Amino acid sequence: MSRIVVLVGSVRKGGNTELLAKAFADGAGKDHEVELVSMADYDIHPCRGCNYCYSSEGHKCVQQDDMGKIYAMLKRADVVIVASPVYFYGISAQLKALIDRLHTPMRNEFTIKSLGLLLVGAAALPDLFDSILTQYHMILRFFGLKDVGTVLVRGAREKGDVLSGDGLKSAYELGRNLPPSSL
């Protein structure tokens, strides 16, 4: 059984990204411990680039926000799933702030072995996700992480649009088909 943290980058409660993340969690929850982490529930400030974390005891950040809670979750995770709406061909600002805050030596304490990606975009353009996928593959290579898969949903603008089509089924199947303990 793996410990999976799903980082939900949308602040819209009950929106398409959250529905996709919950479908994944429902599938993965059969064989794994899954924790959904909604950015709507946390106050995370952008990285200041001050490098205080490189010299502080325990690599603590100078900022006093909710990122300490996220670090604690990531220290226990075997798998991280990033779920985000797509705004102007990138992930949400809230999720980007979290990712930038991983610029810390504390990440060397993480036991994360695998990464997955769930994206929801309003447009139907064929290259809608290309810039995010490029960054995703670079992160996989840099950290030597296993790619557990992606689910990419186009044309989901209004709340609930993801209910039509096969996005929820694909997210559920991605979660359900994760190997029980070989991640």
Tell me the per-residue pLDDT of 127-183, one tens digit each, with 9 for 90 and over.
999 999 999 999 999 999 999 999 999 999 888 888 988 999 999 999 999 977 655
Domain 3-176 has CATH 3.40.50.360: yes
Arithmetic mean of pLDDT, 91-103: 94
Q: Say what the pTM is.
A: 0.94
Direct distance between the N- and C-terminal alpha carbons of the chain, in angstroms, rounded to an integer: 9
Q: What's the whole-number mean pLDDT along residues 101-124?
A: 94
What's the chain's Rg over C-alpha atoms? Answer: 16
Q: How much of the chain exceeds pLDDT 70, in percent?
A: 98
pLDDT of residue 181: 61
Distance between CA atoms of residues 140 and 150, nearest Å: 13
pLDDT at 37 over 70: yes
Element (H, E) at 167: helix 167-176
Strand arrangement of the beta sheet that strand 3-8 belongs to: 33-38, 3-8, 79-85, 114-120, 146-153
Residue % of the chain over a pLDDT of 90: 86
Q: Which pLDDT value is given to residue 57?
A: 93
Lowest mean pLDDT among 11-15, 80-84, 157-161: 157-161
Q: What pLDDT is stored for residue 123 in this prediction?
A: 94
Q: List the structure tokens of 53.
A: 């974390």
d(CA 128, CA 130): 6
Phi, then psi, of 167 in degrees rounded to 5: -60, -45
